[in-house]
Amino acid sequence: MAEVFCIGTILGASGFPKPELCAKFAFVAGDGWDIIEGEDSGQTQVDVPGEDDRYTVWSHPVDVHYTTKTIAGWPKLIFQVYHQDMFGRNELYGYGFVHVPTTPGTHHLDVVTWRPAGSFTDQVWAYFLGATPQLKSLDLIHNPSDRFRLQTVAMGKYIYN
Partner 1 sequence: MSFFSVSAIGQIESALYPNFDHLYCKYNFKYGPDWVIVNGLEDGLTQMSRTSTSATFSQAMYSSGTFSRTCVWNFPIDVSFKSTNAFGWPQLVVCVYGLDELGRDVVRGYGAVRLPMTPGRHVLYIPTVVPLATSPFHELLSWITGRLPEYLDHNFIAQAKGREVTRVKSQGALKVVVDIATKDIEKFGLQVSSKK
> For residues 101 and 130, which CB has a smaller minimum distance to partner 1 in the complex?
101
Binding of partner 1 by 74 (CB under 8 A): no
Site for partner 1 (CB under 8 A): which residue of 51, 87, 120, 128?
51
Query: CA–CA separation, 122 vs 90, rounded Å?
Result: 17
Under the criterion CB under 8 A, does residue 35 sit at the interface with partner 1?
Answer: no
Under the criterion CB under 8 A, does residue 65 sit at the interface with partner 1?
A: yes
Does position 83 interact with partner 1 (CB under 8 A)? The reply is: no
CB of 64 to partner 1, least distance (A): 8
Q: Does 31 bind partner 1 (CB under 8 A)?
A: no
* Sign of the CA dihedral with 7 first, then 53, 25, and 150 last: negative
46 binds partner 1 (CB under 8 A): yes
Which residues form the interface with partner 1 (CB under 8 A)?
Answer: 5, 7-9, 12, 22, 24, 36-39, 42-52, 54-57, 59-63, 65, 84, 103-106, 155, 157-161
